[in-house]
Structure 1
Amino acid sequence: MYHKFYKVIAVISCVFLLHGCGTYFNQPITIENARIGEDTEVTKTLRDFPPPVEPVVVGVYKFRDQTGQYKPTENGSTFSTAVTQGATTILIKALEDSKWFVPIERENLSNLLNERNIIRSTRKEYRKTKNTNEPQLPPLLYAGIILEGGIVSYDSNIITGGLGARYFGVGASTQYRQDRITIYLRAVSTSSGKILKTVYVSKTILSQALDANFFRYIKFKRLLEAETGFTKNEPAQMAVSEAIEKAVESLIVEGIEDKLWAAKAEPEVVNTLIETYKAEKHEAQNTALYDRYFKERRTKISAFLKGGTALVSGDYNNPELTYSAKIGARWYFNPYLNVNGSINKFELTNQNAFSKGFNAFDLNTELSLLPFDRLSPFLFGGVGIVNDDDFDTTLFKFQYGGGVEYLISDKIGISVGATHNLVLSDELDGVVQGKRDDQYFNFSFGLNWYFGKPAKASKKSRLQKQEQNIELRELRKRNRKIRKEGIIREDKNE
């Protein structure tokens, strides 16, 4: 028996380790050569943007760490900063990758001016001896837009947790921690000082640790001990780079939408780019802090089918688990509250004493605790009737229970739940004995099908959705108009 248990623990440990097998089986054992820096997920998006009609000359004086936070440790903090101090350089690289901006040197402008003065003085001394006329230094580029902002927040340990198990000296565990970095980027007009656009981006930083160990006395004076595992930390510099590149992407698209600059592409391409960004922005605005996306998911009408077990709690001893099947439908008043009815076929059995089939009809009011999430606990309660297969006896009852539902798609969900049925009679098992009425339990696994449109949260949310649809329709009309005008111009030019 113990050998079988060890095998189970070994399998669980392997599952933990295989979750990060890419890290585990690529451990650094040799000195690595320098290589070109990695790209983030957003770098390719920036490079694939349609080109601008004319690149914008921008100046970046300081895009710095405004948090003033030092790197946390177990014993407090160190004098090392929590985030990189080279955010200005990262921003300039992102501007270059996008091909939409021409960044000019402003971070170390004094060095540039000193070097130009050295060139002028050297040329002046050279002219005295050689009597030659050399061209003057070309003027410096000036920026039409200044980019300001910085890293405004670094939050440590916004989520921490773990999981582990140990038995007879064999165990495995995992731990994780999540930090969060936030940046703001704004574009300022140098001619008027007006802030043209401000964007806000956040990025989480994940740290994980997995380990498995074995500690066991095999025989007298023979101890076997083994341990393995790894830790994986997402680089803070990569997180800062991705956040800054995402901010540049947002700045470009919102600038196109507000007519601050234009893309050298077909109207259909520009329209698709803007609509895709607006859909992403709408999703981000409806996503809470811990990646909880608030979306109206469950439709007004749904049907469900459940199967499971039933367990009687009556006047006989030794109850046994038997089958239970249920079919029904729900109608949602709003995402939180629904009323549902169901027909249930089940059997109740006590060993060698009682066994009988029953039918029940339930009418419940159900409350979804997290209706805008895919995974939502629920509670319910209501009234019902129960009778045997011969329909000789009809008994009234109350029931209550709860469970958890997970939406595997927009139309299909799976659920597990339990129901406690309180029969208002002591005649369910055919024996009237004691002061307590008969009871029974249902434990079920179910499939839910959703039909139609999602149930709306409130009148305010409906109005917001209507306004968004109106804006999208107007945007499509403008794009069609621009497209037609472009075709007419081309025909005239021909």
Structure 2
Amino acid sequence: MLNYRSAFAVILFLLLTSCGAFFNQPYKQERARIGETSPVTKKLKEFPLPQEPVVAGVYNFKDQTGQYKAVENGSTFSTAVSQGGTTMLSKALEDSKWFTVIERENLGNLLNERNIIRSTRDEYRKNQNPNEPNLPPLLYAGILLEGGVISYDTNIITGGAGARYLGVGTSTQYRQDRITVYLRAVSTSSGRVLKTVYISKTILSQAVSANLFKYVKFQRLLETEIGFTKNEPVQLAMKEAIEKAVEALIIEGIKDELWLPRLSEEATAKLIEDYDSEKDEAITTELYDRFLTERRGDYAVSAALGGTLMNGDLANPQLAFNSKLGFKRKLNPYLALDVSFNKFNLENKELFNDGFMSFDLNLEYKILPFDNLTPYLFGGIGTNALDYFNTIEPKLQAGLGIEYLVKDNLGVYVFGEHNLVFSDKLDGVVSGSMDDMFYRFGLGVNIYLSTPNTKFNQRKELERLKKAELKALKKENRRQMQEKNKSARQNIKDN
């Protein structure tokens, strides 16, 4: 009975942890629906109107990769990306209201139909109505929009995690692909390429599974498995990338005054400023979504608590207490000087226990200075002294650590450090040919007293000031409203 209850509990746990997949299972056929939109679609539809729409022609916005869809045993004859790029681009241009899109993809069909209309009108003009009007001329394009999907990279990131214990296991896997599009505007009067933009979009696939494989009784095997997979549609990713390319092309044209919006100069400048900020952020972001900007200030104070471990001539070293206070000065994004004061004990069980202080000067090297999480190495010189400065000895220290920025001005770090003292008398015993040494490790915080003067931080500070100003304005309006209501109540009471 106990085994059945355990198995039932495990199955119930698996069901509950994956209930989101069960509640969205396609148990029945779904009716046709209007196509999905992306955040960029909404942004395009709400974009400021132009002073005058530009007549644009799109002959072919095609897949230039020639890549076929990958499968486990090779590839198929299905293409990796949609072949309807021209249609997607035409829809994005229409949504933006900045372009009057004219038919050019199937121009032959259009010309044939116009010939049929022209012939029919000629016959009608001869036989019935000599005043039948001629067919109006076709619109011609002011610009041509060219480009296409220039790359589709699969498996740029793959990974996962899993665990299994006593027949119960779970696992997760993910994969990321990447699609890239180029879009350029070409003047039909001169043939000059006016602007070219480049947009990329990642495509995420995820899989989660859980399983149970357990003997609940002699010759009674219980086996169950649950899981689901989510694949971001390539068509939606391609659509969003094309829409983003149209948005970027419009703003790039506004910057160069190729076309102008129906906005004031201040609003136009704000639109361009927001786009430039997004562009600067994109430029400083590497392929795997690593935003490369300076995050740590020039000055910081640090504090840490941890332990020490003696390595000398006596046996049975014991873990003892260590505390640290320090000050850091950044030399460049990679290097910093660290001055610190340490108060600690060194102990060997029932043989030695004494208190020490040390003053250390270290050069610190951050391996990933532009990331929130960075390993770092450090090394330098210092002095080791007993609590009452009875002895002062020089030493060398070196170590490594990992720091994580919790906030812009607050970092949490762990460290380990090896200290070599130029003496064999640290534990009061002289034995052998090697000098005494000890180890320190701990957990600490860095409080940065400033922020780097980057465009990213300037924009964040400006946003913070705007939010503070808006909050103060709302508070003042609320106070005035309360005073007004109070005065009105007083007037009613007096009357």
The Cα RMSD (Å) is 2.6
TM-score by length of 2: 0.85
Contact 1:335/1:455, CA 8 A, preserved across alignment? no
Cα shift readout 1:259-310 (whole Å, capped 9, x = no counterpart): 0000101222111100010011111111111112221222222211112222
Equivalent residue for 1:123?
121
Residues 194 and 301 of structure 1: CA distance in aligned 2, closer, same or farther (over 3 Å): same
Contact 2:403/2:411, CA 8 A, preserved across alignment? yes
Amino acid corresponding to residue 90 of structure 1 in structure 2: M
Query: How far apart are 1:400 and its partner, in Å?
Result: 1.0
Equivalent residue for 1:356?
354
Equivalent residue for 2:493?
none
Q: Which of the numbers 48, 54, 59 marks the counterpart of 1:61?
A: 59
Equivalent residue for 1:203?
201
C-alpha distance in 2 between matches for 1:163 and 1:110? 55
Equivalent residue for 1:255?
253
Contact 1:383/1:399, CA 8 A, preserved across alignment? yes
Contact 1:17/1:210, CA 8 A, preserved across alignment? no
C-alpha distance in 1 between matches for 2:179 and 2:307? 49
Equivalent residue for 1:486?
none
Residues 455 and 58 of structure 1: CA distance in aligned 2, closer, same or farther (over 3 Å): closer
Matched position secondary structure for 1:117: helix
Matched position secondary structure for 1:408: strand
Cα shift readout 1:347-374 (whole Å, capped 9, x = no counterpart): 2333343333322221111111111222
Q: Which of the numbers 180, 183, 187 marks the counterpart of 1:182?
A: 180
C-alpha distance in 2 between matches for 1:223 and 1:154? 46
- 1:21-60 matched pairs, under 5 angstroms: 22-23=20-21, 25-60=23-58
Query: How far apart are 1:453 and its partner, in Å?
Result: 4.9
Equivalent residue for 1:461?
none
Equivalent residue for 1:288?
286
Matched position secondary structure for 2:268: helix
Moved more, 294-303 or 252-261: 294-303
Matched position secondary structure for 1:452: coil
Cα shift readout 1:183-235 (whole Å, capped 9, x = no counterpart): 11000010111111001111111111122222222342222222222211111
Residues 424 and 152 of structure 1: CA distance in aligned 2, closer, same or farther (over 3 Å): same
Contact 1:333/1:455, CA 8 A, preserved across alignment? no
Contact 1:157/1:178, CA 8 A, preserved across alignment? yes
Cα shift readout 1:40-68 (whole Å, capped 9, x = no counterpart): 12111111211110111100000000000
Query: How far apart are 1:26 and its partner, in Å?
Result: 1.9
Amino acid corresponding to residue 435 of structure 2 in structure 1: D
Amino acid corresponding to residue 238 of structure 2 in structure 1: V
Q: Which of the numbers 230, 233, 244 marks the counterpart of 1:232?
A: 230
Contact 1:24/1:229, CA 8 A, preserved across alignment? no
Residues 309 and 250 of structure 1: CA distance in aligned 2, closer, same or farther (over 3 Å): same
C-alpha distance in 2 between matches for 1:175 and 1:365? 40
Cα shift readout 1:311-342 (whole Å, capped 9, x = no counterpart): 22333333333332211011122111111110
Query: How far apart are 1:74 and its partner, in Å?
Result: 1.2
Matched position secondary structure for 1:95: helix
Cα shift readout 1:116-160 (whole Å, capped 9, x = no counterpart): 111122233334443453222221111101000000011111111
C-alpha distance in 2 between matches for 1:436 and 1:217? 58
- 1:414-425 matched pairs, under 5 angstroms: 414-425=412-423
Contact 2:153/2:177, CA 8 A, preserved across alignment? yes
Moved more, 79-88 or 160-169: 160-169
Identity of aligned residues (%): 61
Residues 213 and 263 of structure 1: CA distance in aligned 2, closer, same or farther (over 3 Å): same
Q: Which of the numbers 100, 111, 114 marks the counterpart of 2:112?
A: 114
Q: Mark the runs of 5 or more structure 2 residues left unpaired by the alignment.
A: 460-495
Moved more, 423-432 or 33-42: 423-432
C-alpha distance in 2 between matches for 1:65 and 1:309? 61
Amino acid corresponding to residue 292 of structure 1 in structure 2: R
Equivalent residue for 2:85?
87
Query: How far apart are 1:24 and its partner, in Å?
Result: 5.4
Contact 1:387/1:395, CA 8 A, preserved across alignment? yes
Residues 317 and 173 of structure 1: CA distance in aligned 2, closer, same or farther (over 3 Å): farther
Contact 1:300/1:455, CA 8 A, preserved across alignment? no
C-alpha distance in 1 between matches for 2:219 and 2:317? 49
**Number of residue equivalences:** 451
Equivalent residue for 1:153?
151
Contact 1:425/1:438, CA 8 A, preserved across alignment? yes
C-alpha distance in 1 between matches for 2:73 and 2:328? 54
Contact 1:17/1:229, CA 8 A, preserved across alignment? no
C-alpha distance in 1 between matches for 2:430 and 2:297? 45
C-alpha distance in 2 between matches for 1:223 and 1:427? 66
Residues 432 and 169 of structure 1: CA distance in aligned 2, closer, same or farther (over 3 Å): farther
Contact 1:334/1:455, CA 8 A, preserved across alignment? no
Equivalent residue for 2:476?
none
Amino acid corresponding to residue 92 of structure 2 in structure 1: A
C-alpha distance in 2 between matches for 1:137 and 1:147? 27
Query: How far apart are 1:386 and its partner, in Å?
Result: 2.0
Equivalent residue for 2:386?
388
Residues 188 and 385 of structure 1: CA distance in aligned 2, closer, same or farther (over 3 Å): same
Matched position secondary structure for 1:227: strand
Q: Which of the numbers 73, 76, 85 marks the counterpart of 1:75?
A: 73
Amino acid corresponding to residue 57 of structure 2 in structure 1: G
Moved more, 156-165 or 181-190: 156-165
Residues 432 and 246 of structure 1: CA distance in aligned 2, closer, same or farther (over 3 Å): same
Contact 2:376/2:402, CA 8 A, preserved across alignment? yes
Q: Which of the numbers 409, 428, 438 marks the counterpart of 2:407?
A: 409
C-alpha distance in 1 between matches for 2:21 and 2:40? 23
Equivalent residue for 1:297?
295
- The alignment status of 1:317 with 2:315, answered yes or no, reads yes
C-alpha distance in 2 between matches for 1:379 and 1:182? 38
Q: Which of the numbers 144, 164, 167 marks the counterpart of 1:166?
A: 164
Matched position secondary structure for 1:126: helix
- The alignment status of 1:344 with 2:316, answered yes or no, reads no
TM-score by length of 1: 0.85
Residues 425 and 221 of structure 1: CA distance in aligned 2, closer, same or farther (over 3 Å): farther
C-alpha distance in 2 between matches for 1:329 and 1:209? 46
Q: Mark the runs of 5 or more structure 1 residues left unpaired by the alignment.
A: 457-464, 470-494
Contact 2:56/2:100, CA 8 A, preserved across alignment? yes
C-alpha distance in 1 between matches for 2:10 and 2:218? 23
